[in-house]
Homo-oligomer: A and B are copies of this chain.
Amino acid sequence: MARIIDEGKIQRIREATIELVVLNGYGGASISSIARRAGVAEGYLYRFYSSKQELVTQLLYTKVAQIIEKLESLLNSCARISEVMVQLIGELFKMAVDTPEEIKFIHVLMHDYNFQVSDEQRRHIKSLVDKVVKTGIENGEVSKLVSAEEAYGMVIIYPIEFINLRMKGFFGSAQWTDEEQKRVAEFSINALK
């Protein structure tokens, strides 16, 4: 055998890509700037990804999958939808503190017309959101009028929008208290009533 692949390099490529896409957009994140930031040769990433598009798409899928999995496990472990939402929103805020670039990355690309989430993931999201609505109605926590889209809007989109609005400091403050985090969950839950 020859030497072992340095996983640190691949990881640094991933991190650099996320940072630079957030900073400069997809078009502004060039391969050379990614390689420079990762401390790696220019063409090295082509050993693992066939193109820049695939690299970024792959990263988006992975990050979105983490959120989907979290929602899925919460739906399996919590009886009440309010509990699911409190926990999920807690997770998103945790992500915003621990790895802010990642949530910005998701935020930027999920609004880009060139980066749709995969069909499979979309179907998965839909089925989970359907379950939120179904369980919520059964529990009396969600109005019978609420659609899957509305639930998606309040469970996923609204918290992500709130976090990114704060991170941009749109209304002044660029951080938040535990109290405000609780309030985001409370607001989302209330909107579905």
Residues in chain A within 8 A of chain B (CB atoms): 22-28, 104, 107-108, 111-114, 116, 122, 126, 145-150, 152-154, 157-158, 161-162, 164-166, 168, 170-171, 183, 187, 190-191
Instruction: Give the copy number.
Output: 2
Contact among B108, B149, B158, B187 for A111, CB-based, below 8 A? B108
A37 to B17 CA separation, bound complex (whole angstroms): 31
Instruction: List the B side residues contacting A149 at CB < 8 Å.
Output: 162, 165-166, 170-171
Contact among B23, B107, B112, B171 for A25, CB-based, below 8 A? B112
Q: Are B25 and A150 in contact (CB under 8 A)?
A: no
Instruction: List the B side residues contacting A113 at CB < 8 Å.
Output: 22-23, 25, 104, 108, 168
